[in-house]
Structure 1
């Protein structure tokens, strides 16, 4: 028993370290590359790039149809046989192919017909390629089989290719259109290698399921889709709304604020993903997950607020002090983000979803987003990037509050007591 317990603890920390390494690579990329890009292409052109990226990432998140919840849960609970793995793999890959084809056509029509996109056709056209590279992303698979040590390797390959191309070729302001192209190349190579490695390693015979079966999968996992989609797209939505109603410089300010708040939420994101797979198998660990997530979230929010001035003044070299102060202000507004994300992770993802209350969380998320979008449009039009930050806080705050309330209402205390006995 002691040996088994030690293996479980080792496996848990291996997954935590692996995901932390993955996020560290993303963070290191942001720390190095954002100041470099702003210096080379300027704040305004960087804002155009961020605007295009926010649009495409919205479609990418739709194409990842709740797989990090539905597929991970299915893989976690079933025996890791070739038959089970192949079934889940082919379902997810088929659905992703069908959904991506439809989304790509919609994206192309938007680029060709909407004036704000049409005026930067090359930039948005190159950005659309990210949707193609994501077809081969199998992050959900590594999370489901709890072998997360492969994820940092994949990310590192994509990052090194991307950084190398950017440093060599991005030298003038007009080169901003190619930033996303280089990102696509890095992701396509890394995702392609990992995809075919898994196919060969697990002897998966790729079979595209029928359109009818794909539709049934979409219908059955709609709640998981909503529960994963909206938290994933909120940041991009805020950046996109600012880009739609304001100037590129304001988009840069909004994106930098979002990057910093996401960086401070990284630890909780990692812990949430690791606990989700673990709690689905050993549900008595749920109280431990709550305590860790909430404690870490509170500490990170406080640190984010206190350190905002120091971080920006020593990170982004912008001569315009007004813009610099605006970035610091946005970071301080967004400082409750890690705590709010922790509450959602604890009582929503690792709470309601673990007890199969998917529909409740999806309704909470949809209602909160609907309210947030209505008020968010007004806020962004009136207050630009400050409105974008307030929109983010409002939606996350509503989801966090109702996740807590409905978890305590729907999951009976006696159920938790039974788990601990």
Structure 2
């Protein structure tokens, strides 16, 4: 478990450290207004790419693990996912085209607009989940690191002027594409992966089996990206840029939760199969550890908000630090639903967490539009906090109401 956490953290750390390192560079070269445009575009791509991620990042490794090293069965399953992802690219591109029309600065810039499609396509065949299932996370860590660092150096040395933001996503998209191309070449050469065609019947069955997890992922992504996207509809790119600097720090905190989940959950599965009482004990320890760890993180964000913002941006530090203070409780609140979420997954209570996240999605979208319209950025932040509180309280309440799920009881 420690090994998986380390490699997963390394992969996700470089994936999130990468854009964080580039924020000061973007603001210095492009200015805060163009950085706001980049932030809107990235949120748009992240939001739509959930369609192609679907449920495989969470369920894919589990399914591969259950195939017990049956190469033929694993190859067939991976091929099914690849083919399904390619099919989902069609609605993804259509949605990108339609949503981009909400932002005139994006849709009116033909070169920049075109680059978004390459960036989105490069996200369609992420192979990280395959390597988790095969217990080869270390290999993917090397592949990912090489191309991410190469991309970083290319941007730092090739992007020189204010107008070059138009080619930024071409660079990002090309290197992301190289990651999944090399990943699948490795699977072909070293893991005996054999690609095969998939019937529409099997594709439909795959989509049906992961539909509720997809909606859950959509909710999580909505909470992460809705702030930037909705602010971009109502306000100019400058305000979005100021807000986005602080939001990126909070997203890093929330992303750490996902990294911990990727490392912890395979072990939780093994414990859950062996002993329910041991499972509940472990989930209780995770809840307590997260409470302590993310509480410390919240205090650090509040006390050192200006210093943290100044590392990323030299413009509008006071405004961004105020947003960071308001946003600071979000990773803590989100971390406290993870034990309940894992308990519900282990007991196959999909309907419960699906209901919680779906209602959270409705709350998030409706409140975000309403409160941001009347209270601007502060209203948006309030909507995010209310959504996170609802999901955490809902999931933990459902766990408390079920004796078999209640990991808070020490006598279980």
TM-score (norm 1): 0.89
The equivalent of 2:142 in structure 1 is 153
Equivalent residue in structure 1 for 2:399, among 407, 415, 419: 407
Counterpart CA distance in 2 for 1:388 and 1:151 is: 37
The equivalent of 1:335 in structure 2 is 328
Contact 1:126 1:181 in 2 (8 A): yes
C-alpha distance after superposition, 1:20-61 (max 9, x if no partner): 222332343234311011000100011111112211221111
The equivalent of 2:251 in structure 1 is 262
TM-score (norm 2): 0.91
Equivalent residue in structure 1 for 2:372, among 380, 384, 395: 380
Contact 1:94 1:209 in 2 (8 A): yes
C-alpha distance after superposition, 1:102-124 (max 9, x if no partner): 32234235557975642233222
Equivalent residue in structure 1 for 2:314, among 314, 317, 329: 317
Matched, 1:189 2:184: no
Deviates more, 1:110-119 or 1:134-143: 110-119
Equivalent residue in structure 1 for 2:345, among 336, 348, 353: 353
Counterpart CA distance in 1 for 2:76 and 2:288 is: 36
SS in structure 1 at match of 2:78 = helix
- Structure 1 residue 254: deviation in Å? 2.3
Matched, 1:101 2:90: yes
SS in structure 2 at match of 1:87 = helix
Contact 2:37 2:105 in 1 (8 A): no
Contact 1:257 1:330 in 2 (8 A): yes
* Structure 1 unaligned regions, length at least 5: 1-11
Structure 1 residues 297 and 351: CA distance shift in structure 2, 3 A: farther
Counterpart CA distance in 2 for 1:355 and 1:170 is: 50
Counterpart CA distance in 1 for 2:89 and 2:181 is: 16
Structure 1 residues 122 and 388: CA distance shift in structure 2, 3 A: farther
Counterpart CA distance in 2 for 1:403 and 1:110 is: 32
Counterpart CA distance in 2 for 1:60 and 1:310 is: 33
Contact 2:111 2:167 in 1 (8 A): no
Matched, 1:300 2:294: no
Counterpart CA distance in 2 for 1:267 and 1:106 is: 29
- Supply the RMSD in Å over aligned alpha carbons: 2.4
Report which structure shows greater RCO (CA 8 Å, sep ≥6): 2
The equivalent of 1:369 in structure 2 is 361
- Structure 1 residue 353: deviation in Å? 1.3
* Structure 2 unaligned regions, length at least 5: 273-278
Contact 1:68 1:143 in 2 (8 A): no
- Structure 1 residue 126: deviation in Å? 0.5
- Structure 1 residue 187: deviation in Å? 0.6
Matched, 1:233 2:230: no
Q: How does 1:178-217 map to 2 (within 5 A)?
A: 178-217=167-206
Deviates more, 1:24-33 or 1:122-131: 24-33
Structure 1 residues 174 and 204: CA distance shift in structure 2, 3 A: same
Deviates more, 1:22-31 or 1:124-133: 22-31
